[in-house]
Amino acid sequence: MKNLTTPLPASERIILLDILRGFAIFGILMVNMKIFIHPVNVMMLRPSVDQPLFLLIPDLLIKFLFEGKFYTLFSLLFGYGFWIFMNKKMETGSIIPVFRRRLAVLLLVGVLHIVLLWAGDILFFYAIFGFFLLLFRKSSDRKAVIWGAALILLPAIVTALTWGMMALGSSFPEGKAAIDAAAAESSRSISEMIERSRQAYGYGSFSEIVNARIKEWTALLPGLLFFYPAVLGTFLFGMLAARKNLAVSNAANTSFFRRCLPLSLPIGIAGEAVYTYASLHADMAMPNGMSVLASFSHAVGAPALTLSYIGLIMVLFEKGRLSWLWNALVPVGRMALTNYLMQSLICTSIFLSYGLGMSGKLNILHGIALVMLIYFLQVIYSRYWISEFRFGPAEWVWRRLTYLSPVSFRKKCG
């Protein structure tokens, strides 16, 4: 029986998973760049419509084409990988303790990422909800679909209920005064925290930066806790896709995605167009009607557009088109964890005071240029690394701590 610590040979890897991971790493950097440039808590503020048009348009295009689509893609891939992992054959015992240890290591990496690098980490919550995913491993397809859809809609439902309660409270003079005061206090508190973070990131010591980062993360935590169950819902759809082997390149799967595109693409475009417009007028800290519209349209539009991206890649790959692009994405995807962490290391070195100190000094166009440069360098680096080593550095550590046994790192010796 094959040793579980041994990586799959290239002939057995599902190449489309590596392509999609590489694609997701690019999209995640594009979305995250804005909150590398500014403190993470800017997410709690409305987008500024006062900025020049040449800055507003690319900002809105990132929201329309990227925001929410690539964490959805990454979450689908996590769920897909979960199903593959859970179906590995063990020589003795159960695979479940091994998977729990794998999640515990990811949780530790997430904590270190938050404390030492960036408050916008996703690994912590992926690990937390990965433990919940174990509860669904034997669920029927129908149950997984129902739970998945409900969890994806949960943030929008909570937003609607919050807005409804606030609207009801505002119908009474005393209630309106209290809600208006709470909104003003919330806005003041967020603005003050952002300003403190800007000072720490731009001019503070390492310990002051860590302190500011932890305060940012804890301030975001209540919102994240009701947002991230949607990630668990997406995990479930990834698990279902793995049950159906949908990432395997064959005529049947290509036909499935080709049939999905005429439905998913217009729904995705319409939903994200509404989301992009509504978000300009939404207040996520104190939800209003536009917040509800933005939440529901995004809950539908983002998965639909993500499915369209997957379908387009699947169809083009099966037709043999853009092979140069797939060849560039595969090495990046094979070391996705390393590249994700590397993006944080590079960007914090650019923006924080112990590096180049550029926090708050660049605009969205500078950010897009940086994304292109960083990702280009990651493509080159990943291609070289995978030619010499069997895993990315972070992937090797993750595997070593998961299986608690030696793992050969280099492809060649001597």
CA 359/CA 226 separation, integer angstroms:
29
Summarize the confidence of residues 83-99 as an average pLDDT. 86
pLDDT digits (tens, 9 = 90+) for 211-229: 999 988 888 887 776 778 8
Q: Is the pLDDT of residue 370 over 70?
A: yes
- Evaluate whether residue 108 is within a structural domain: yes
- Evaluate whether residue 2 is within a structural domain: no
- Evaluate whether residue 5 is within a structural domain: no
pLDDT digits (tens, 9 = 90+) for 12-47: 468 999 999 999 999 999 999 988 998 887 777 766
Q: Is the pLDDT of residue 6 over 60?
A: no
- In 3-state terms the chain splits into helix, strand, coil percentages (rounded to 5) of 75, 0, 25
Q: What is the pLDDT of residue 8?
A: 52
Q: What is the pLDDT of residue 414?
A: 45
Q: Is the pLDDT of residue 63 over 70?
A: yes
What is the band of 177 on the pLDDT scale with cuts at 50, 70, 90? confident
- Evaluate whether residue 8 is within a structural domain: no
CA 295/CA 113 separation, integer angstroms:
28
Q: What is the amino acid identity at position 312?
A: L
- When divided into structural domains, the chain yields a total of 1
- Evaluate whether residue 6 is within a structural domain: no
Summarize the confidence of residues 151-180 as an average pLDDT. 88
DSSP 47: P
Summarize the confidence of residues 51-67 as an average pLDDT. 91
Which residues 6+ apart lie within 8 Å of 138 measured at CB?
A: none
Domain containing 305 equals 15-403
Q: Is the pLDDT of residue 379 over 80?
A: yes
pLDDT digits (tens, 9 = 90+) for 260-303: 999 999 999 999 999 999 998 888 778 889 999 999 999 999 99
CA 391/CA 199 separation, integer angstroms:
38
- Evaluate whether residue 288 is within a structural domain: yes
Summarize the confidence of residues 51-64 as an average pLDDT. 90
Q: Is the pLDDT of residue 145 over 50?
A: yes
Q: Is the pLDDT of residue 70 over 70?
A: yes
Point out which residues pair with 389 in neighbouring strands.
Answer: 410
Lowest mean pLDDT among 65-74, 112-121, 183-192, 272-281: 183-192
Average pLDDT, the chain: 90
Q: What is the pLDDT of residue 101?
A: 96
More confident residue, 228 or 314: 314
Which residues 6+ apart lie within 8 Å of 53 measured at CB?
A: none
Q: Is the pLDDT of residue 135 over 50?
A: yes
Half-sphere exposure of 207 (CA within 13 A, CB side): 0
What is the band of 11 on the pLDDT scale with cuts at 50, 70, 90? very low
CA 185/CA 389 separation, integer angstroms:
53
Radius of gyration of the chain measured on its C-alpha atoms: 22
Which residues 6+ apart lie within 8 Å of 301 measured at CB?
A: 267, 268, 269, 270, 271, 272, 273, 274, 275
- Evaluate whether residue 409 is within a structural domain: no
The Cα-based distances of 274 to 12, 147, 270, 299 in angstroms read: 42, 25, 6, 11
pLDDT digits (tens, 9 = 90+) for 381-403: 999 999 999 999 999 999 999 98
What is the band of 48 on the pLDDT scale with cuts at 50, 70, 90? low
- Evaluate whether residue 93 is within a structural domain: yes
The pTM (predicted TM-score) of the whole model is 0.92
Q: What is the pLDDT of residue 393?
A: 95
